Amino acid sequence: MGIISNRTPVLLLTGFGGQERALELAEPGTVVVHHDLSGLREGMVVRSESTVRPDGTAEERVALLELAHGCVSCTLREDLLPLLRALHRRAGTRRIVVRLDPTLEADALRHAIEHVVVEMVGSVSAPAARDVEVVGTIGFVDGATWLDDALGEQDLGERYAVPDDDERTVAQLAVGHAQNADLLVVTGDSPDPARLRAVLRRLAPGAPIARERVPLTGLLPRLGAPRAPIEPFGPLLPGCPPLEPDGDVRLIEFSARRPLHPGRFHEAIDVLLDGVVHARGRMWLATRPDDAFWLESAGAGLRVGAAGPWLAAGGQGSPDRWAMASAGWDEAYGDRRTDLVVLVAGADPVRVAETLRWAELTPAEFAAGPGEWALWHDPFGAMHADPCEDLAADPAAGTREDEEMS
């Protein structure tokens, strides 16, 4: 017997286009919420709220919001999260559909729903997840442009109205929209549909892929449980994506038991910025014996940041993390190691693997030991971004085949 929840289900729609189809899901008891951020640079956000009454007629409410503290994330935290809790209490609400602005990331919203405490008069202070439950994310993929976006280097501000200090790229959002979706809808015609499908199957394994002509209501039964977020010390290939190559698309797994030379690795990461859709993983830098570092890239943008201490350096971990670490525990260095996964679409996989291997310490360097390693120049700070000029600004920020439905 399944667990019965009295929380209101929330469905997220994300992508660079297609979210306007949210009204297809409007049926009695459904509320569709949308925050239009196109007026962001003027300091305004427009919130629309469409509700379908039991008799089938629709009611739309529109509100103009001023940016709280000049910060869109603050505005949504102070408006959307309380709204979700309020809608849960509104009589007749059976489901909430959140149509996300293209510049908003579903994974970040899910995290806020689950963890950000909402203060409400007359209600217990708690995260919105006390009252609502995200049951899935539908990601819309523009077949004509998505691959170019995911492999590109365009800044988000060149396409959308975002604050001047928003350093995200179009590729980062394109990859994130697809990677965090539980179901993908491809809109428009792709110049190379087989190549696009090959990338999506490896980026979002297990997420069914549908064409735009399929009604959204017909897709809802195919939604599984929302995928767990990728954690720095968790599995790097959740969902068992295909590992065999498909044309020029393939996943590369790189592992090293000797640490990485910081100088050589700083040079080597350029190989991840051309012909690579996405890379992620944890690293052991020779000059940083205690902290693991997390690397993540999308298109021509890449970030490296501290992920926390290794277990062997006193880090805390879940039973699953300890189990993973124990399988390859080294008597001298414990769980320290480098594990990276790279999704290439055009890059030479041999060159990528050989360049990363070049960054690993040689046996002679490894034998010199941590005392010698500590003397080396380290170009990595607590957070590193490539291209390097971006550092001048704040960096915040069994195999199952996918199904294609026609």
316-354 confidence digits (pLDDT tens): 999 999 999 999 999 999 999 999 999 999 999 999 999
In this structure, are 123 and 54 located in the same domain? Answer: yes
Phi-psi region of 305 (alpha: psi -120 to 50; beta: other; left: phi over 0): beta
> Cα separation of 400 and 358, whole Å?
34
Instruction: Report residue 339: phi and psi, to 5°.
Output: -135, 120
Rg (CA), the chain: 23
Q: What is the pLDDT of residue 400?
A: 28
Q: Burial, 186: exposed, middle or buried (Cβ in 10 Å; 0-12, 13-18, 19+)?
A: buried
Same domain for 296 and 198, yes or no, is no
Q: Give the tens place of pLDDT for each residue, 155-178.
A: 999 998 888 888 899 999 999 999
Q: Counting Cβ atoms within 10 Å, is residue 326 exposed (0-12), middle (13-18) or buried (19+)?
A: exposed
Q: Say whether 305 sits in a helix, a strand or coil.
A: strand
Helix, coil or strand: residue 34: strand
Q: Considering the domain boundaries, does residue 254 fall inside one?
A: yes
| Domain final residue pick, 161, 187, 222 | 222
pLDDT confidence tier of residue 392, bands split at 50, 70 and 90: very low
CATH of the domain at 367: 3.30.1220.10
Number of structural domains found in the chain: 2
Q: By residue range, what is the domain housing residue 187?
A: 8-222
Assess whether 189 and 327 both reside in one domain.
Answer: no
> Same domain, yes or no, for 175 and 287?
no
For 253, the 3-state DSSP assignment is strand
Are 196 and 146 contacting, i.e. CB atoms less than 8 angstroms apart?
A: yes
| 280, 179: one domain | no
Q: Note whether residue 238 is domain-resident.
A: no
Instruction: State residue 218's pLDDT score.
Output: 84
Nearest to 99 by CA among 28, 18, 158: 18
* 98, β-bridge pairs: 12, 33
Q: Is residue 182 part of a domain?
A: yes
Q: Are 273 and 386 in contact (CB under 8 A)?
A: yes
d(CA 47, CA 80): 9
Query: So what's the pLDDT on residue 166?
Result: 85
- For residue 156, how many other CB atoms are within 10 A of its CB? 18
Same domain, 197 and 323: no
149, pLDDT greater than 50: yes
**Does residue 365 fall inside a structural domain?**
yes
Question: Is residue 18, in this structure, part of any structural domain at all?
Answer: yes
Domain boundary among 176, 204, 222: 222
Q: Which amino acid is at 8?
A: T
- Whether 406 is covered by a domain: the verdict is no
- Does the global pTM surpass 0.85? yes
Residues 92-113 pLDDT 10s: 899 999 999 999 999 999 999 9
218 plus 321 within the same structural domain: no
Question: Are residues 203 and 253 both part of a single domain?
Answer: no
Distance (Å, rounded) from C-alpha 293 to C-alpha 277?
Answer: 20
In angstroms, the Cα distances linking 159 to 149, 245, 288 are 11, 33, 38
Please state, in angstroms and rounded to a whole number, the distance separating the CA atoms of residues 280 and 282.
7
pLDDT in tens, 292-307: 999 999 999 999 999 9
136-154: b (≥16 Cβ within 10 Å) or e = bbbbbbbbebbbebbbbeb
**How far apart (Å, rounded) are the C-alpha atoms in residues 307 and 330?**
20
Which residues are registered as beta bridge partners of 14? 139
Q: How confident is the model at residue 38 (pLDDT cuts 50, 70, 90)?
A: confident
> First-to-last CA distance in the chain?
33
